[in-house]
Structure 1
Amino acid sequence: MNICLLETFYTGSHKAWAEGIKEHLQANVHILNLSGKYWKWRMHGGAVSLAKKFNALDQEFDLILATDMIDLNIFLAQTRQKTHDIPVALYFHENQLSYPWSASDPDTQNGRNLHYGFINYSSALSADHIFFNSKYHRSSFLSEVDRFLHLYPDERNLDDLALLHEKSEVLQLGVNLQALDEFKAIKSSGPVQVLWNHRWEYDKNPKEFFDCLAQLKDEGLDFQLAVVGERFTQEPKEFRAAKKHFSNEIVHWGYVESAAEYAKILWASDVLPVSSIQDFFGQSIVEAAFCEVTPLLPRRLTYPELFSEDFLYDDLTLSLRKLLQSNTFKSARSEVSKYDWSKMSAVYLKRFENVVDGFR
């Protein structure tokens, strides 16, 4: 099978997923991508740039696999002479209808944020098949589409909801977990190492995370802190304040370019308190859990779908306090090992073959 994978935001988990497909699937995968920055502009103009790249290719494809950061309608319009007889699958890493926009975002303040959700909605309509990375993601998107369409006065086309239901399914993320074992190490018997390994962005709710740690520090509980994860041009103000407040606890601060160094930090950590207000899968959590870092997860979003009751909390500060006091940690490695590409590659290939067969 020959697959053309379109990714306008080629960084972080999006990049890792695309490279995983290329490396692990028994298929020929050609990746067309743009750098992972200026995400709003990528959703508007990225399709034009990738269409030009696609039209310049002298290659035939059995499947086009696009992700949610592209305006699929523009791409297909610009490439219709070459793509009219190729099935198109759309993979949602996230979507802008369910995503909790920050009140400080100028697009929210000026009512422009709805357009990004419309790009996701109209792209889903144009795709032959849709994949979501979790059950929670699929259900929340379809619910938000219904709410979104009811914002408008007429011609809502509500019957399209049934179509989106019918042609969508869950295909959870494949992750290169086995590569992390190369750097496996025995955890230190020193102070508990608390980990943050998510993007430094609003939806990961750094305020609750650092407020929790500040309270436990004031109570006299001892811990170390490793803060990694991808950083962007703008980042929540909480990080600057936390770097100063936890100067005595910090053992690492900042994004890690080296995969080896990142893995070593995961293996050295003990607990991953998660405070996110949005997460459609949680690759960084899966990676940490595979390295036997105990995840503490809110009883919401996709987490009850991916992890057992042992790792869910109702009160973050209470749960983390108990762990720090008991110094007893549970491993969730067995719950996330199934997402390694060694197990997921065959699943992906079969799903893609089904899309192609259904198009004929």
Structure 2
Amino acid sequence: MIIHLFAPFFSGSHQRWAEGYARHSQHTVRLFTLPGRHWKWRMHGAAVQLAQAFLAQTEQPDLLLTTDMLDTATFLALTRKRTANLPVAVYFHENQLTYPWSPTDEDVPLQRDRHYGWLNYTSALAADTVLFNSHYHQQSFLSALPNYLQAFPDYQGLATVDQLAAKSQVLYLGMDLLSEKENKLSKGNTPILLWNHRWEYDKHPDAFFRICEQLKLDGLKFQLIVLGERYAKAPPVFAHAREVLKDEIIHWGFAKDKGEYTHWLQKATILPVTSKQDFFGGSIVEAMYHGVYPLLPNRLAYPEHIPHDFHAQHLYETEEELFEKLQQLILPSKAFTQHDIFRKWVAHYDWQQLASVYDQKMESVVKSGN
């Protein structure tokens, strides 16, 4: 079977996902991509560029696999002579209905923020199958649609919500985990807190560093690793924290390659997550796979990464509860030896297990479309 995969925001986790599936699938997966920048323009303009790229080649696929960053409806309109009878699946890494907008984004006060959700909505309508990377993501998108549509003056299309629900499914994010070198050594006695997310507002760095500062003020001894991609307008709390916590920091900044990134994950011991938004949480899964003790909010997709019997131990409800759990972990001198437990919890996201699930899903989309 030949699959044409369209990834208009080809960087970071989107790129790793597309390349991973192409590498591990038993089918032939061709990638059509654009650089991962200017996300708003990609959602508008990528359909034209990728339609031209598709039409410029002669291979006819059995399935089109698009992502939430592509205006799939427009793409299909522009390529209708060759795609009219092709089955289409759209994979949602995120969506613009429930993604929290940056407070510094000028489109918010100008009330220009609805169209990107509309592109997600029409893309889902145009597809035969809608795939989400977590149950939380599926539920949040579908539950947000009625209120979103009711904001329009008439012909709101509320009946389409049930239609979309009927053709939506969960297909967890595939990742390259098992190829990583295993670290069987004890994590040691010095607590090392880890930040390994993007330096953006939706990861709520203010809360993370506020807790770190309070731990220091209380005289608790710990070290700090701060990883993650920094963008041009990083929240100012990062510069503040780098100065206030300079004695605790043992690494600061983006890892130059995967080997260095893995090294710091294997060195870290505790992962206190404060994010306000995560449709899956790939960085959390990566850290857990390398034995970092997770303390996660009891919201978003995070409960799906923790077996139910361990929710009370590893999930928290409030910032105060997170601080208390951290205190209990840092106060006693203890080694973190649960590496294999965390690894087992998330190993099923690896492509070695998920690739066949993806292949079967794509095959079923083709069969149902014929």
Match of 2:316 among 303, 313, 333: 313
Partner of 1:325: 331
Superposed counterparts of 1:1-360, under 5 Å: 1-181=1-181, 184=183, 186-187=185-186, 189=188, 191-308=190-307, 309=311, 310-314=313-317, 315-326=321-332, 327=334, 329=336, 330=338, 331-360=341-370
Does structure 1 conserve the Cα–Cα contact (< 8 Å) formed by 2:265 and 2:287? yes
Q: Distance in 2 between matches of 1:173 and 1:38?
A: 23
2:26 counterpart letter in structure 1 = Q
Q: Distance in 1 between matches of 2:78 and 2:256?
A: 36
Deviations 1:87-145 (A, max 9, x none): 11000010010111123211111111111111111111011110001111001000111
1:247 counterpart letter in structure 2 = K
1:5 counterpart letter in structure 2 = L
Deviations 1:269-314 (A, max 9, x none): 1011100111111111111101000111011111122213131112
Does structure 1 conserve the Cα–Cα contact (< 8 Å) formed by 2:138 and 2:170? yes
1:328 positional shift: 5.2
Does structure 1 conserve the Cα–Cα contact (< 8 Å) formed by 2:188 and 2:335? no
Does structure 2 conserve the Cα–Cα contact (< 8 Å) formed by 1:12 and 1:230? no
Q: Distance in 1 between matches of 2:348 and 2:357?
A: 11
Percent of aligned pairs with the same amino acid: 47
Q: Distance in 2 between matches of 1:85 and 1:257?
A: 45
1:223 positional shift: 1.1
Size of the alignment, in residue pairs? 359
Q: Distance in 1 between matches of 2:103 and 2:146?
A: 23
Deviations 1:233-289 (A, max 9, x none): 222111111111111111111111311111111111101110011111111111110
Deviations 1:48-88 (A, max 9, x none): 11111111112110111111011111211211111112111
2:314 counterpart letter in structure 1 = F
Does structure 1 conserve the Cα–Cα contact (< 8 Å) formed by 2:187 and 2:269? no
Structure 1: runs of 5 or more not aligned: none
Deviations 1:2-36 (A, max 9, x none): 11111111111111111110111101111111111
Deviations 1:136-155 (A, max 9, x none): 10010001111100111210
Q: Distance in 1 between matches of 2:8 and 2:201?
A: 22
Does structure 1 conserve the Cα–Cα contact (< 8 Å) formed by 2:100 and 2:277? yes
1:41 positional shift: 1.0
Q: Distance in 1 between matches of 2:256 and 2:168?
A: 35
Does structure 2 conserve the Cα–Cα contact (< 8 Å) formed by 1:55 and 1:79? yes
1:179 positional shift: 2.0
Does structure 2 conserve the Cα–Cα contact (< 8 Å) formed by 1:185 and 1:268? no
TM-score (norm 1): 0.97
1:251 counterpart letter in structure 2 = I
1:232 positional shift: 2.1
Q: Distance in 1 between matches of 2:177 and 2:217?
A: 36
Does structure 2 conserve the Cα–Cα contact (< 8 Å) formed by 1:129 and 1:167? yes
Q: Distance in 1 between matches of 2:174 and 2:201?
A: 25
Does structure 2 conserve the Cα–Cα contact (< 8 Å) formed by 1:187 and 1:267? no
Per mean C-alpha deviation after superposition, the further-off stretch among 263-272 and 297-306 is: 297-306
2:327 counterpart letter in structure 1 = R
Deviations 1:191-247 (A, max 9, x none): 211111111111111111110101001111111111111222222111111111111
1:353 counterpart letter in structure 2 = E
Aligned to 1:179, the other structure's residue is in SS state coil
Q: Distance in 2 between matches of 1:188 and 1:86?
A: 51
Per mean C-alpha deviation after superposition, the further-off stretch among 99-108 and 322-331 is: 322-331
Q: Distance in 2 between matches of 1:288 and 1:213?
A: 19
Per mean C-alpha deviation after superposition, the further-off stretch among 282-291 and 186-195 is: 186-195
Does structure 1 conserve the Cα–Cα contact (< 8 Å) formed by 2:186 and 2:335? no
1:317 counterpart letter in structure 2 = F
1:350 counterpart letter in structure 2 = Q
